[in-house]
Amino acid sequence: MNFSELSLSDPLLRAIQDEGYSTPTPIQQQAIPYVLEGRDLLGVAQTGTGKTAAFALPILQRLGRPARGRRAIRTLVLAPTRELAAQIGDSFSAYGRYTALNHAVIFGGVGQRLQVNALRRGVDILIATPGRLLDLMNQGHIDLSHVSIFVLDEADRMLDMGFVHDVRKVVTELPTRRQTLLFSATMPTEIVKLSRRILDDPVRVEVTPSASTVEKVRQAVLFVEKADKRRLLSEVLTSPGIRRALVFTRTKHGANRVVKHLLRDGHSAVAIHGNKSQRARERALRNFKDGSIRVLVATDIAARGIDVEAVTHVVNLDLPNVPEQYVHRIGRTARAGAGGMALSFCDREEIAYLLDIEQLIRQEIPVVQQHPYRGEFDRNTPATERPPEDQPRKKSRNRWGGRGGWRGHGKR
């Protein structure tokens, strides 16, 4: 199938050609016709599947021309993070470049003046994170009464980030007669409930990213004791084949520590997470994209939606406890056709997570047996031989002043 079979207008087809896309992705093939028809849609798909174009293209087509007189917000897109919102904005710029429609992106963490100015000038499409949107609504800068298409992107992430109340509040401000598109990578019960409330007779479109993403990425697991992970990372990163690596940690604090460690070992690295200012995040991303920084260390939330082509390696310094997260993470290195490699560091306490992940992706991840910090355990090590939590170890580390202490004692 090619794009011209999707009844898209010439200005959109030209933009698609400029982007270099030859065939629509599965989510685009399935969703675009329904969205063009004006149907509500429940899209089960994650970032990396081409879902932004799956909604942006038909929306641009349906909006047609800007309203006569002053522009009014006719499409609202809610996204969970600033990065994702900015990226969706970039997509609308790209796909809408031959249309007369415009858009604005608003998110928190930066001054509101420029955003308010843009709103005053009038926008057709507004892309926003929930917090800043509500804030500007409360200040009277935003009128949602003309919205005819509402998109809720990454709904599961919104839920994780505690945005559900905000989303509900926004929805109550929208006209009831509207088209609603909800995208979510996973479908926990809360999302099912929310979708029942905000969607009207939706078509459900599902792509199976798990299989398709996973197939494109070479994967490996390295068993390593927790205390050796950072050293192992430094070692692994000496490989020249790793041109651009995205390293995941579970916490912001962890991300900062890893960066410190890497810098000390002479690697170029920067962290990106919610505690960083918007400017710092943008700079980090820019430097990572242009290659001046080779290693980006991120938490899941910060990394969600980051679209950096040519990430050659994803390193899971910590295994995620939600198996779907693993698929999201490794998907960063399998962008639109370019395969990559995912390395997962697994300590004793994470074996259960590893097994959950393998169950989800229905394959056993190959083990790197030879590496300088190989832990003396594997996926079959019984739970009884794994320490319950890292708490006691931390204590003993303090008491004996360094990890050599407790390691040498051989007793736990």
Q: Between residues 8 and 199, which has the closer beta carbon with respect to ligand AMP?
A: 8
Q: Between residues 45 and 351, which has the closer beta carbon with respect to ligand AMP?
A: 45
- The DSSP secondary structure of 52-109, one letter per residue, reads HHHHHHHHHHHH-SPPSSS----EEEE-SSHHHHHHHHHHHHHHTTTSS--EEEE-SS
Residues sharing a CB contact under 8 Å with residue 302, sequence separation 6 or more, in sequence order: 81, 83, 272, 273, 274, 281
Q: Between residues 228 and 307, which has the closer beta carbon with respect to ligand AMP?
A: 307
263-322 positions binding ligand AMP, by CB under 6 A: 307
Q: Do 83 and 289 form a contact (C-beta atoms < 8 A)?
A: no
Structure letter (DSSP) for residue 385: G
Q: Do 279 and 286 form a contact (C-beta atoms < 8 A)?
A: no
CA–CA separation, 179 vs 337, rounded Å? 31
Residue 335 is a binding residue for ligand AMP (CB under 6 A): yes
Q: Between residues 210 and 373, which has the closer beta carbon with respect to ligand AMP?
A: 210
How near is the Cβ of 47 to ligand AMP at its closest, in Å? 4
Residues sharing a CB contact under 8 Å with residue 371, sequence separation 6 or more, in sequence order: 222, 224, 232, 235, 236
46-65 positions binding ligand AMP, by CB under 6 A: 47-53
Residue 156 is a binding residue for ligand AMP (CB under 6 A): no
Q: Between residues 24 and 323, which has the closer beta carbon with respect to ligand AMP?
A: 24
Residue 209 is a binding residue for ligand AMP (CB under 6 A): no
Strand order in the sheet with 341-346: 218-223, 341-346, 313-316, 245-248, 295-298, 269-272
Q: Between residues 43 and 320, which has the closer beta carbon with respect to ligand AMP?
A: 43
363-382 positions binding ligand AMP, by CB under 6 A: none
Residue 244 is a binding residue for ligand AMP (CB under 6 A): no
Q: Between residues 231 and 289, which has the closer beta carbon with respect to ligand AMP?
A: 289
Residue 230 is a binding residue for ligand AMP (CB under 6 A): no
How near is the Cβ of 256 to ligand AMP at its closest, in Å? 27
Residue 150, classed as helix, strand or coil, is: strand
How big is the site for ligand AMP, counted in residues (CB under 6 A)? 14
Residues sharing a CB contact under 8 Å with residue 66, sequence separation 6 or more, in sequence order: 100, 101, 102, 124
Residue 75 is a binding residue for ligand AMP (CB under 6 A): no
| Secondary structure E strands in 101-140 | 103-106, 125-128
Q: Between residues 225 and 307, which has the closer beta carbon with respect to ligand AMP?
A: 307
How near is the Cβ of 347 to ligand AMP at its closest, in Å? 31
CA–CA separation, 75 vs 34, rounded Å? 17
> Out of 211, 336, 338, 383, which residue is the one contacting ligand AMP (CB under 6 A)?
336
Query: Which is nearest to 152 in space by CA: 51, 298, 36, 67?
Result: 51
Residue 184 is a binding residue for ligand AMP (CB under 6 A): no
22-51 positions binding ligand AMP, by CB under 6 A: 24-25, 28, 47-51
How near is the Cβ of 266 to ligand AMP at its closest, in Å? 31
Residue 21 is a binding residue for ligand AMP (CB under 6 A): yes
Enumerate binding residues for ligand AMP (CB under 6 A): 21, 24-25, 28, 47-53, 307, 335-336
